[in-house]
A and B are shown apart, each in its own frame.
Chain A
Amino acid sequence: MNRLWIRSLEVETFRQYRKPVLVNGIGRDLTVLAGENEIGKSTLLAALEAAFFERWKSAPSIESFRPYESEASPRVAVSFSLGETEYRLEKIFSQRAEGGMSLVCGDGQRWEGERAEKQLEELLDFEHSPKGRSKPEHHGVTGTLWIHQGDAWKPVQPNARSQTALGQMFDAEMTDLLGGEHGEALRRRVQALRDGYLTKTGKLRKEYQDQVDELEACRNERAGAQRRLAEFEQQVDQLSRLRRSLREFTKKALIERAREKHQAARARKSEVQALERRAEQAREALRSAEAELKLGRRELAERQELVEGVESGRKELQGLREQLAPLDGEIAEREKTLREAEEALKAARGEQETARKETQRAHRAVRAREISEKLSALEDRHARARAAAESRAKAREALGKIRVEPEGLVELESLERDLRVERERLKAVATELAYEITGSRRVSLDGERLQGEGNLSVTGESRLEIDGAGSIRIRAGQANTGEIEASLRSLEARRTELLERMAAPDAATARQLLERRRSAERELDHQDERLATYAPGGLEELEAQLSETRAELKAPEADGVNRDPPPDMQAAEEALSSAEESVAARLQQQEASAGAFQDVRERSSKLRARVGVLDEKQQEREAQLAQARDAEPDRELARRVAELEREVDEKKKSLATASGAHEASAPAEVAAEVERTEKALQELKAEKERLEREQHGLERELRAAGRDGLAETVGDLDVKYRHLEAEVAQIRARAHAVDLLHVTLEAARADADEAIVRPVVERMQPYIRQLLPGARPVVSPELGLTGILRDGRKEGFESLSIGTREQLAVLMRLAYADLLTEAGVPVAVILDDALAASDDQRRERMKQILFQAAKKFQVIVFTCHAGAYRDTGGQFIDLETSLPGSTGNA
């Protein structure tokens, strides 16, 4: 048993670890290394990888491992065992003298430097990178099984070395199974061969399909030529038949015999025709005799008719004349009756006229009375209306004279009031002069003589002149006297103007005038109303009506009928009615009499006319008869007709004899025989001509067609067809074979692929069953996990959730590790937070799986979820406590 057990790890001046740290006590089976983020779990994994796989002299490695801004040399030491043997591996990454590597075995063996590197490569089956930093492909199997943080969900694809290693593990013949490069090259060649013949869908490629089409075209062409050849041969046979038929014509003298028969029939027909002609002549003679007889009989009948006509005409004339004799008396009698009826009618009409005039007069009298009544009413209304119109005119005239308006009176009264006020004011300022003229001297004030005694008020400036004494100028009162006087004058002027306009001497008169005006206006209204009542359409209309009525009344009086008193209306009308009835009765009598008179006159004239005509006719007939008898007396005529009748009888007998002979000769049968034999002869001739025509036609046609050598054409086409057929068969057979080879090879290759991956699938199956019951892994021939089969459906790795992907990736590593372990290869599986995206349930299952797997090989789990991984059942190392001062110890 070559089990790998990484026991402890020491790190110093390595990235974030500046001071030495030691992870000790890593278990043989499952170990969980738990620590918070940033504590350096990934650095520890990097240190492990560095210890095993990196060259200590590699400058990029040294640079990568040194703590930040430090020149110190990184150091890593790992204790591990392989089976029962323990090893200690130590590396100091430096190109300086201190750099180096040592591998010390528990049995005391020790390797240094490059020898140590070689020894390690052999122990763990990997190889160092020839130059620079090592890459995963240099890590061999081990590298495949160490999963870095954040890489777990990526597709699992073992590197070439591990593929080989894995392959070697479970089947040494794997390369044989795949056929190697040679097998692949063969597949490519066969594929190319197949593609050369067939399209992707398995149809023949165009160039080959063209040959198949050509074969088909050739088949059709050959069939066409064969058909033509068959037709040709049929025509040859037809020609033989034609010739045979024509030979028959000659051999049996068909036409000649038919012609003889026809001629015999025609001779018989001539005989029949002669008989027929004889019968026809007899018939003609009879027809002519009958016509003669018919004529004689008609003449005889006409003679008898004439004799009878003369006799009956005579009798008729006599009868008519007897009828005519009494008619003249009847005419005179009827005329007299008619004259009497006419007289009576005339009298009745005179009476009717008188009655009518009386009735008219009665009507007019009634009408005159009505008009006269209407006229007196109109005259009354007219008188009243005229009176109203006159009163109205008077009122209007009075109104026209008064010029006082109510507004003017109001203004006048206002002026009066103002004048009184102004006068009072003047009086108040005026200078009172009391005079007493005693002398004769003339005393005048402002030109006005003062006499006696009196008082005067002087306003303004006045001059008192005393004759011979001179004059005294008086100036009254206060200074505004002038103003008052002016106002007074103005007011007075306006009053005067107003009064003049009103044509009133003073205000009192003006008031009286206004009162009179109002009274006149009321009168006017009153008369308007009266006028409207009596003459609603106006006086003129009323007057027109009046004169019209008067004219109406005057009219009947003009005819002077009204000299007698008017008759009673009812009596007049009754008299008229009776007169009218009488006229009607007389008229009827007169018409009847006129009709009877006319009737008898007409009868008489008609009879007379007829007698005239008959008489003329009778004379003619008698002359005709006499003439006929002159030409052939009645007895001669009768004798001739009897002779003709005998002749007709004889001719009838002759005809019967001739017709009998003709009918006995069977004319219809003879005619039919002629027709039949003629037709037969014509048909035979036509048939022979037709056959000859057809024969010549066919001969020409066949001779022309024969030249082409149809049989050889068919033969050539047959050669071509068979050749093409063989070629197409070759193509099909080869295409079939190539296709079969291709399909068989591909199927074998698919089987091989399946065989190769079977061990991996078998190892993975128990793990998957626990994690995803019912699912199967799908593994590529390169041993990568490409997906899973679930419910018969493939789900590609990329299509799965991140959580499922990382879980499956871990399971795949476990399967590899199983295989390697079984083959005795030392492996350890290291997972750096590889199940970060797993839910609780899946994590629980994974913990169980990891625990089981760790019984077969070492499993180390780095995690930041200490709580979740405390119960894995394996070793649990809390890095927080086991690395005192390790974090942040820079």
Chain B
Amino acid sequence: MLKILHTADWQIGRRFASFHGDAAALLRNQRLETVQAIAKLATERGIDAVLVAGDVFEDNQVSDETLRRTMNALQGFEGPWVLLPGNHDAALSESAWTRLEALRAVPANVRLALQATPITLCEGRLQVLPAPLCARQEVMDVTEWFDGAPGGGAALRVGLAHGSVTETLPDQADAHNPIAKDRAASAGLDYLALGDWHGTLQVDARTWYAGTPEPDRFRSKEPGNVLIVTIAEHGAEPVVEPVRVGRYRWLREEKPVFEAEGITALDGWLNSLDEPDSVILRLSLSGELNLGLREELETVLETHRARLHYLDVDDTGIALQPSEDDLADMRAKGFVREAVLSLQEIQQGDDEGMREAATRALRILYREQKALRA
């Protein structure tokens, strides 16, 4: 019996351009911390070998420092690691891998699967058939050679590849680097460990995508896991256990906001989120508010911005409707009232830029009026 930890798509060195300030730096660092967590988990769970199914690095052109730090992060597990080049870090003539070798930074227990040749581990009990990508995009199925690879006797036969299993993945999946969906069967594999798809996904009983251990986008399904695969013997069906290791939760929510009650409800929902400092939330708001309530909403959002790791609000769906109360509140009489009405008219117009400007103008006017009154 062997216990294998299957993971993929670490994409170390990835930047998060749509995040401002410290949030992006924290997200970047977290990926390394998650790798450390995987090493720790492997040790704790007595794992025999860790297989990383491609895209260890975000790009072949990550810095030497990133390369070294990644190797350092593996220290927590002293068993064998097999690192496979994916489309982000393809085994090109010059790559992160060649540089790692040149730097002599690869620890002894780490195997770089740069060639399509079997790797035998665990005193001959495990035969890993790697299918490294030697180009960013391969047109042919690089796992084809598994079928003809000589058998390892009683050793477990495990494939390690990075790409898209044909006719299986949802539409948005990459059409490059195809992998035959019956490869595990045709090559007589006990298990086929795949990478590229960022969510944890089972293709068949012996074929799994581990998904990225640290989520990095809103649209992935089931990210944040590694798979602990237990195989009793050659030919036995593997037992696959997803284990959560990711820290951040990437959430996308759409919420309607009408009247004061809407704001209260939104506030309640935000308060209900667990571990708020691990939440990355993209909130799309819609509805209609008067000027006073719009300011109130802003206050609520500011409060949660400070609580959550990151809060991105798209409020373009909120219509700003100054009420009679607003106008009274603003002492908007005479020409000021006329100006408010003009801005409201622009808000109803066709020009999106002008609509936005009018909404902002109304909010500024409201604040200025309040400030004057104060």
Contacts and interface: CB of A to CB of B under 8 A. Distances in A.
B62 interface: yes
B220 interface: no
Contacts of A709: 13, 61-66
Given A706-B94, A711-B59, A741-B364, A177 B102 contact: no
Contact of B335 (A237, A699, A748): A748
A232 interface: yes
A744 to B, nearest CB: 5
Nearest to A239: B93
A173 B371 CA distance: 25
Interface stretch (B32-40, B298-306, B338-346): B338-346
Nearest to B96: A706
A691 interface: no
A183 to B, nearest CB: 5
A716 B59 CA distance: 13
Interface in A173-187: 173, 175-180, 182-183, 185-186
A718 B61 contact: no
A756 to B, nearest CB: 10
Contacts of B102: 703
Interface in A652-710: 698-699, 702-703, 706-710
Contact of A236 (B18, B64, B94, B338): B94
B173 interface: no
Contact of B368 (A193, A229, A236): A193
Given A193-B368, A229-B61, A236-B95, A179 B13 contact: no
B58 interface: yes
Interface stretch (A354-362, A374-382, A731-739): A731-739
A189 interface: yes
Contacts of B59: 711-712
Of the four ranges (under 10, 10 to 19, 20 to 34, 35 or more), the interface on chain B belongs to 35 or more
B45 interface: no
Interface string B346-365: 10000001101111110011
Contact of A745 (B13, B18, B64, B336): B336
Contacts of A176: 333-334
A240 B372 contact: no
B14 interface: yes
Contacts of A744: 339, 342-343, 346, 361
A453 to B, nearest CB: 187
Contacts of A193: 364, 368
A723 interface: yes
Given A712-B13, A723-B20, A182 B372 contact: yes
Given A193-B364, A751-B338, A707 B343 contact: no
B357 A737 contact: yes
Contacts of A617: none
Interface string A216-249: 0000000000000100110111011011000000
Given A699-B94, A703-B99, A709-B13, A179 B61 contact: no
B252 interface: no
Q: Report whether over half of chain B's contact residues are helix, strand or loop; otherwise say mixed.
A: helix
A695 to B, nearest CB: 9
A189 B368 contact: yes
Nearest to A241: B93
Contacts of B95: 236
B343 A712 contact: no
Interface string B83-124: 000000000111110110010000000000000000000000
Contact of A741 (B21, B353, B365): B365
Given A712-B61, A715-B17, A737 B361 contact: yes
Contacts of B372: 182, 185-186, 189
Given A707-B64, A737-B364, A712 B15 contact: yes
B15 A719 contact: yes
A876 B63 CA distance: 108
A722 interface: yes
Contacts of B359: 737
Interface residues of A, number: 57
A190 B339 CA distance: 12
Contacts of A178: 334-335
A740 interface: yes
Contacts of A185: 372
A712 B336 contact: no
Contacts of B17: 715, 718-719, 721-722
B260 to A, nearest CB: 25
Contacts of B356: 733, 737
A717 B122 CA distance: 44
A186 B339 CA distance: 12
A752 interface: yes
B357 A733 contact: yes
B24 interface: yes
B331 interface: yes
Q: Report whether over half of chain A's contact residues are helix, strand or loop; otherwise say mixed.
A: helix
Interface string B57-83: 011111111100000000000000000
B284 interface: no
Contacts of A707: 63-64, 99
B335 A738 contact: no
B368 A186 contact: yes
B369 interface: yes
B218 interface: no
A719 B16 contact: yes
Nearest to A723: B20
Contacts of B354: 740
Contacts of B98: 703
Interface string B22-51: 001000000000000000000000000000
A537 B343 CA distance: 144
Contacts of B15: 712, 715-716, 718-719
A711 B58 contact: yes
Contact of B331 (A182, A702, A712, A740): A182
B18 A740 contact: no
Contact of A752 (B16, B338, B358): B338
Contacts of B96: 706
A183 B343 contact: no
B62 A183 contact: no
Contacts of A307: none
Given A703-B102, A740-B358, A711 B62 contact: yes
Nearest to B330: A186
Nearest to B373: A182
A745 to B, nearest CB: 5
Interface string A162-182: 000000000001011111101
B335 A190 contact: no
A334 interface: no
Contacts of B60: 236, 706, 711
A54 B248 CA distance: 87
Contacts of A242: 93
Contacts of B92: 236-237, 239-240
A749 interface: yes
A630 to B, nearest CB: 98
Contacts of B365: 186, 190, 741, 745
A190 B363 CA distance: 12
A11 B291 CA distance: 67
Given A710-B61, A733-B356, A733-B357, A715 B14 contact: yes
Contact of B357 (A189, A190, A736): A736
Given A185-B372, A706-B64, 6 more contacts: A193-B364, A229-B61, A712-B63, A736-B360, A747-B339, A751-B338
7 contacts: A186-B365, A706-B60, A706-B61, A712-B59, A719-B24, A736-B357, A737-B358
Interface of B: 13-21, 24, 58-66, 92-96, 98-99, 102, 331, 333-336, 338-339, 342-343, 346, 353-354, 356-361, 364-365, 368-369, 371-372
Interface of A: 173, 175-180, 182-183, 185-186, 189-190, 193, 229, 232-233, 235-237, 239-240, 242-243, 698-699, 702-703, 706-712, 715-716, 718-719, 721-723, 726, 733-734, 736-738, 740-741, 744-745, 747-749, 751-752
